[in-house]
């Protein structure tokens, strides 16, 4: 197969000399390219498309969009103190990646007519107004993760004049949105601001109805859309983060899919954190099951799900207590995965996947009669799929919590894999979390859907 490659090498813009330690002479590149056509190995072209994922593609790209991703490779921070990517506009929000070597500053100038947001991807930053951990020297340090089972705003205060990296440096996404746009609801997938998409190789970014990727599994009418995607790699070419964007409509009881990522191979597993950009309803947010909390007397068992709404909307046929973390625009949630209380690292299932309870992004109606806004709105959000190495939770974030359910997320026991004869590689307890006995679906379909959701959002 012919291989082609379009590469754009962007010189780093001169950064004002706010930091005396910055080496003014150094210039460096952030390499932005469209993923090369073809496969990583020769054997890939001789096998069925099902067999190609994931080995034939760069680590981090999703199964439903394994080709045509934008790849951003960071320079080596040891020879490049401040690196800034070119800018994309995605659904009207400006978007760029910034890498700072330890202690470096990125100057900021956010005016009163815009909102700015920062999502860390590696390392830490000091003294932004996002809550973190106070260091012995009195600085507030913000990390890739915020406290588990809660939500936080990622908005930066207008008065902040620079972002300073912590002692391990920082990589973050910086997003800016004009105030007027922040107040606009999304009501169409083929109009601005949904379609306001610009930047290097942005022709490759197309809103795609999720059923188009899996026509046999989902009705074509399902109002659940995907925009893929940008793969961020470190200077060695290792995956660091993947970003993709999604929408779901208030109508037809759609939501972002209920999934737990079980069985994702260890070298592809990620810690996912969602930030909402446009919210369709006041309760838009993450629904998450609380492990080990079977509803008996205090919470009525959720009603059975109508045949057509099996995987979208509602609490499904799940007898565990579930909660929703509301996510207004610019908010992100903390870890929903299982955490090792002694070191803050994610715990893994028997194949190396970061272990999650069932969860999904939901929007829902705006009144008890199931009503929607007029015209109906879409929720639009971005997911950060972080490599497991960067999502360690500072243990001080695990020590005192107002949410009593946190205890269910730390030191969650990891079940052993079943032997090959019992099951392929399905981690034991995940299957029983979805109560099959009350479901109308065939288990074959369920297995397919759970495989599809395995790596989803
Ligand atoms: C940019 O990345 C592409 C794809 O990996 C590579 O072929 C090219 O050599 C890189 N360019 C530079 C200047 O590093
Ligand atoms: C992930 O690991 C599997 C073996 O466990 C290997 O076959 C596969 O090529 C690896 N993928 C990547 C992208 O490294
Ligand atoms: C403030 O931000 C808005 C929106 O990004 C921009 O259009 C405008 O030019 C900026 N104004 C000033 C004075 O910089
Ligand atoms: C948690 O971390 C400790 C210390 O590193 C380790 O000994 C233990 O095995 C880990 N537990 C799990 C469930 O991963």
pLDDT tens digit string along 311-344?
A: 444 455 566 777 889 999 999 999 999 999 889 9
Residue 85 lies in a domain: yes
Closest CA to 313 of 249, 247, 227: 249
Whether omega for the bond prior to residue 193 falls within 30 degrees of 0, making it cis, is yes
Residue 36 lies in a domain: no
pLDDT tops 60 at residue 302 = no
Q: CB atoms < 10 A from the CB of 395, how many?
A: 15
Atom of ligand 2 nearest to the CA of 55: 9
Ranges 21-30, 71-80, 227-236: which has the least confidence: 21-30
Structural domain contains residue 71: no
For 455, list phi and psi in degrees, rounded to 5. -110, 10
What CATH number is attached to the domain comprising 231? 2.60.120.990
pLDDT of 131 reads 74
Band of pLDDT at residue 250, cut at 50, 70 and 90 = confident
Q: How far is the CA of 227 from the centre of ligand 2 (A)?
A: 25
Is residue 93, in this structure, part of any structural domain at all?
yes
pLDDT for 238 equals 97
Q: Whole-prediction pTM value?
A: 0.86
Atom of ligand 3 nearest to the CA of 112: 1
What average pLDDT does the structure give for the chain? 81
CA of 427 from ligand 2 middle (Å) equals 19
Q: Is residue 440 part of a domain?
A: yes
* pLDDT at position 304: 46
Specify whether the CB–CB gap between 25 and 68 falls below 8 A.
no
109 CA to middle of ligand 3, Å? 10
Q: What angle do CA 376, 188, 285 make, to 5 degrees?
A: 60
Question: What is the rounded average pLDDT of the residues 121-128?
Answer: 96
Q: Is residue 328, in this structure, part of any structural domain at all? A: yes
Has residue 32 got a pLDDT over 70?
A: yes
Count of structural domains within the chain: 1
The residue with greater pLDDT, 296 or 365, is: 365
Which protein residues touch ligand 4 with a CB less than 6 Å away?
340, 342-343, 347, 414
The alpha carbon of 12 is separated from its chain's Cα centroid by a whole number of angstroms, namely: 27
Query: By C-alpha distance, which of 363, 344, 350, 358 is closest to 411?
Result: 344
Give residue 36's pLDDT: 96
Residue 160 within any structural domain of the chain: yes
Q: What integer pLDDT is reported at residue 427 of this predicted model?
A: 47
Backbone angles phi, psi at 432, to 5 degrees: -75, -10
Please check whether residue 58 lies inside any domain of the structure: no
Ligand at minimal distance from the CA of 39 is 2
The residue segments making up the domain with residue 300 are 77-453
Residue 454 pLDDT > 60, yes or no? no
Name the most confidently modeled range: 86-95, 126-135, 251-260.
86-95
Percent of the chain with pLDDT over 70: 76
Q: What is the C-alpha separation between 273 and 382, in angstroms, rounded? A: 9
The neighbouring-strand residues paired with 143 are 124
Q: How far is CA 281 from CA 134, 273, 285, 305, 313, in A?
A: 34, 20, 9, 21, 14
Q: Is 8 in the pocket of ligand 1 (CB under 6 A)?
A: no
Q: pLDDT value at position 366?
A: 81
Q: Three-state DSSP class for 209? A: strand
195-218 pLDDT per residue, tens:
999 999 999 999 999 999 999 988
């Amino acid at each position: 197969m012919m291989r082609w490659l379009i590469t754009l090498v962007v010189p780093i813009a001169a950064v004002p000399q706010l930091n005396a330690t910055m080496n003014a002479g150094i210039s460096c590149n952030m390499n932005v390219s469209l993923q090369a056509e073809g496969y990583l190995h020769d054997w890939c072209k001789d096998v069925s498309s099902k067999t190609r994922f994931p080995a034939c593609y760069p680590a981090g790209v999703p199964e439903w969009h394994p080709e045509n991703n934008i790849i951003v490779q960071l320079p080596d921070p040891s020879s490049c103190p401040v690196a800034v990517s070119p800018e994309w506009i995605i659904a009207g929000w400006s978007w760029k990646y910034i890498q700072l070597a330890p202690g470096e500053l990125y100057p900021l100038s956010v005016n009163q007519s815009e909102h700015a947001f920062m999502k860390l991807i590696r390392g830490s930053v000091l003294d932004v107004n996002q809550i973190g951990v106070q260091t012995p020297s009195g600085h507030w340090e913000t990390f890739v993760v915020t406290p588990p089972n809660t939500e936080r705003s990622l908005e930066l205060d207008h008065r902040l004049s620079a972002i300073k990296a912590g002692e391990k440096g920082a990589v973050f996404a910086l997003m800016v949105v004009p105030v007027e746009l922040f107040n606009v609801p999304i009501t169409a997938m083929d109009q601005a601001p949904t379609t306001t998409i610009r930047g290097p190789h942005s022709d490759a970014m197309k809103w795609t109805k999720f059923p188009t990727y899996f026509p046999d599994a989902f009705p074509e009418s399902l109002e659940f859309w995907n925009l893929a995607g940008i793969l961020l790699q470190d200077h060695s070419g290792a995956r660091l983060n993947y970003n993709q964007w999604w929408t779901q409509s208030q109508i037809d009881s759609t939501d972002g899919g209920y999934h737990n990522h079980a069985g994702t191979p260890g070298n592809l597993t990620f810690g996912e954190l969602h930030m909402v950009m446009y919210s369709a309803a006041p309760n838009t947010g993450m629904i998450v099951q609380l492990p080990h909390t079977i509803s008996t007397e205090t919470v009525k068992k959720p009603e059975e799900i109508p045949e057509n709404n099996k995987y979208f909307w509602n609490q499904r046929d799940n007898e565990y207590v579930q909660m929703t973390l509301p996510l207004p625009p610019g908010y992100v949630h903390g870890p929903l995965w299982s955490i090792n209380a002694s070191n803050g690292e994610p715990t893994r299932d028997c194949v190396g996947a970061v272990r999650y309870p069932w969860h999904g992004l939901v929007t829902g109606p705006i009144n008890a009669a199931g009503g929607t806004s007029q015209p109906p709105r879409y929720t639009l959000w971005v997911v950060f799929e972080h490599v497991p190495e960067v999502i360690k939770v500072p243990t001080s974030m695990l020590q005192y919590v107002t949410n009593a359910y946190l205890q269910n997320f730390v030191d969650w026991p990891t079940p052993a894999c079943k032997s090959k004869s019992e099951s392929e590689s399905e981690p034991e307890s995940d299957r029983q979390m979805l109560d099959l006995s009350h479901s109308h679906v065939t288990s074959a379909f369920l297995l397919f859907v759970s495989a599809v959701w395995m790596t989803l959002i």
